[in-house]
Amino acid sequence: MADISVIVPAYNAEKYLEKCLDSLVNQTKKNIEIIAVNDGSKDNTLKILNEYKSKYPDMIKVISQENQGLSVTRNNGIKVASGKYIVFVDSDDEIELDLLEKIWDKVIEFPYDIIAFDVNWIYPDKNQIAKSAVIWDKKELLLEDKKKLLIDINVMACNKAYKKELFEDESVLFVPNTWFEDVLFTYKIIPQINSIAKIDFPGYKYFQRENSITYTYSERLNEIHNVMDSILKYYKQKEFYDIYKEELEYIFVRYSFATYIKRLAKTKDKKRFKEGIHLVKSRVNDLFPNYKKNKYLYSGKKNFYLKNFNNFFAYLIYYLEKNKMN
């Protein structure tokens, strides 16, 4: 049994895959396994994976499947993982060579359910550190701690190590055919955990490439609404909704008035933007008519914007984004 399983979904990844794998096979932490899942690639991805498997037969497992998307690919990696902990690494990203060792040092202290670390976002012209937003090591999370995590946590799946036992509840697995799958996954798993720790270290190198999903704003924008709806549905099914209602309300408002509006502004489609404003205002008012009373909206400049969202603020974002992209 490995200490840590690293799951690498790969689809047409030949351009960056070798650098990703090099950052894994050269980890200072030993007793790890790398599970590379080829998701029906049409380039040399599978060839590269098999070459690395031949070179590191005791470390690398290769699975090949028809193209089914990121969620299914990760889930299939989880199914065959033998590690006590699971880490996800995208095939065009890298991790620092001592990240897994730092994670295991935390495990030795205490078998936390989740261990979060920071991310080095690498843009074509700059680098930026994104904090995990986990502020403490907690061996026993209280309800108020989980509520704080829901509000603050970085929703990336790749900046955390997860105890394998968490995935025994199949409801937390990644949902197929879903964009923003990390958002849905993270908000599903937080109520299920009992402990969490942090590493103040930007161990994950996330490359923002111009053709990456996060650089594409015009496609799949309405998936943000679908994911928010799925989160609410999940909490109701699990009977968590009443416990976390105020947090869910705030998250829904934030993704509607901030995330969606900002991404929609980047399309520079004024007609679509106008329709989008009407859509999010209707959705929020229909589901949470008293959202302006939410306690989380009464602190900070960003929350002032959310609490007082109107057409003026929306179009201000539109023109700021338009000028930024010119």
Per-residue pLDDT, 322: 75
Residue 2 has pLDDT above 60, yes or no: yes
Residue 220 has pLDDT above 80, yes or no: no
| Averaged confidence pLDDT in the chain | 93
Task: Please state, in angstroms and rounded to a whole number, the distance separating the CA atoms of residues 5 and 236.
Answer: 32
Q: Give 239-274 pLDDT, tens digit per residue.
A: 999 999 999 999 999 999 999 999 899 888 899 999
Dihedral (CA of 230, 236, 241, 243) sign: negative
Q: Enumerate residues 6+ apart whose C-beta is below 8 A from 74.
A: 7, 9, 37, 88, 157, 174
Bridge-based pairing of strands 85-88 and 60-65 is unpaired
Residue 213 has pLDDT above 50, yes or no: no
Q: Give 135-164 pLDDT, tens digit per residue.
A: 899 999 999 999 999 999 999 999 999 999
Per-residue pLDDT, 218: 53
Nearest Cα to Cα of residue 221 among 149, 293, 277, 290: 277
Per-residue pLDDT, 216: 47
Q: Give 17-60 pLDDT, tens digit per residue.
A: 999 999 999 999 999 999 999 999 999 999 999 999 999 999 99
Q: What percent of the chain has pLDDT over 90?
A: 84
- pTM, full prediction: 0.94
